[in-house]
Structure 1
Amino acid sequence: MPNTNADHGLSSDELAIWASLATLLERLPTALDAQLQRDSGLTHFEHGILFALHSAPERTLRLSVLAAYASCTLSRLSRAVSRLETKGWVRREIDPSDGRFTLGILTDAGAQAVAESTPAHHALIRTLVFDTLTDAQARQLGVISRKVAEGIGPGGVWSPA
């Protein structure tokens, strides 16, 4: 992409692409949070934690693994898990196989919260993302998003089982 502007190092085409991506990065989380807060009293981040636990064997993950899935620090995860514990949706236990680790365990009430919140959340994702793209564009978005995420830092991108 030629036409690099010496003031900022990006071409006009690159700036236009970046502006679109930056706008998406601002608008999409806001829309997802608004729907989940309105319908379920959850943030998108909290829903992601519940969904990951719900998808895990025995609805249990080490918090370090959950933090990696959520691309967050243990501190941020701990604050969110504390909020979910207050609601009775998650509990923590020391890992019996290695006491150095703490497990996050989805409770039955948490499983119910995921079951109730996920359909509307997935419907919004379908409306905002997949209904605006062709199947080929959606596949391209997946490839591109994964490449950018992997370029940012180590650790795989979470994928459903």
Structure 2
Amino acid sequence: MVEPQWLNEEEKRAWHAFVAAGSLVNRRLDQQLKDDVGITHLQYEILVRLEAAQDREMRMSGLADALLNSKSGLTYQITQLEKAGLVTRRSCTSDVRAVYAVLTDAGRRMLERAAPDHVALVRKLLIDVLTPQQLATVADGLGEVVRRIQDGEPGAAR
């Protein structure tokens, strides 16, 4: 068995800050969206992805991949959004296995209501806290982490 390379103090400080900041930011964003418009942060992200997609629809498997979510977890979320009238599902005429999530007009209006306060809170919690250089460093560093994990590079966690 290979002896683990334990984290030094600076590495621990970075890791703990990353975990704490991620949890706290997500918790605050989730609470704000629930209080303001009655949806979760994940549900908001689903609506955002659908709004940006061609014809305001995405294949469920592609949407799950884009959100880094399981297909079963996405199915649950889509069911909740469908009950609220914010999305619908449609079958694909050329592939019976494919199901698409489609943003409804009500879903689009929900985004229009939710987005201003959501973006303001994102700015307050993260964007405006960091200098432009820190923001670029965070984006570059975390972007590299995502790239390595998604590409399945050796040494990257899966």
What is the match of residue 83 of structure 2? 86
**Distance in 2, Cα, partners of 1:149 & 1:101:** 27
**Distance in 2, Cα, partners of 1:60 & 1:97:** 16
How far does the alpha carbon of each residue in 1:66-121 deviate from its partner, in whole angstroms, 9 at most, with x for none?
00111001100000000000000100010123222000000111111111111110
What stretches of structure 1 of length at least 5 have no aligned partner?
1-5, 156-161
Query: For 1:88-107, what aligned pairs fall within 5 Å after superposition?
Result: 88-107=85-104
Q: TM-score, normalised by structure 1?
A: 0.88
AA aligned to 1:57 is Q
1:112 and 2:109 correspond:
yes
AA aligned to 1:143 is D
Query: For 1:28-107, what aligned pairs fall within 5 Å after superposition?
Result: 28-107=25-104
How far does the alpha carbon of each residue in 1:3-60 deviate from its partner, in whole angstroms, 9 at most, with x for none?
xxx8971111111111111111221110110110110101100000001001111101
**Distance in 2, Cα, partners of 1:7 & 1:64:** 36
**Distance in 1, Cα, partners of 2:93 & 2:65:** 21
TM-aligned CA deviation for residue 123 of structure 1: 0.6
Identity rate, percent? 32
Select 2:22's aligned residue among 11, 21, 25: 25
**Distance in 2, Cα, partners of 1:95 & 1:148:** 34
**Distance in 2, Cα, partners of 1:98 & 1:82:** 21
AA aligned to 2:22 is L
* More displaced stretch, 98-107 vs 79-88: 98-107
Q: What is the aligned residue count?
A: 150
What is the match of residue 156 of structure 2? none
What stretches of structure 2 of length at least 5 have no aligned partner?
153-158
Rate the CA distance shift 1:149–1:7 in 2: closer, same or farther, 3 A.
Answer: closer
* More displaced stretch, 145-154 vs 75-84: 145-154
AA aligned to 1:20 is A
Rate the CA distance shift 1:7–1:144 in 2: closer, same or farther, 3 A.
Answer: closer
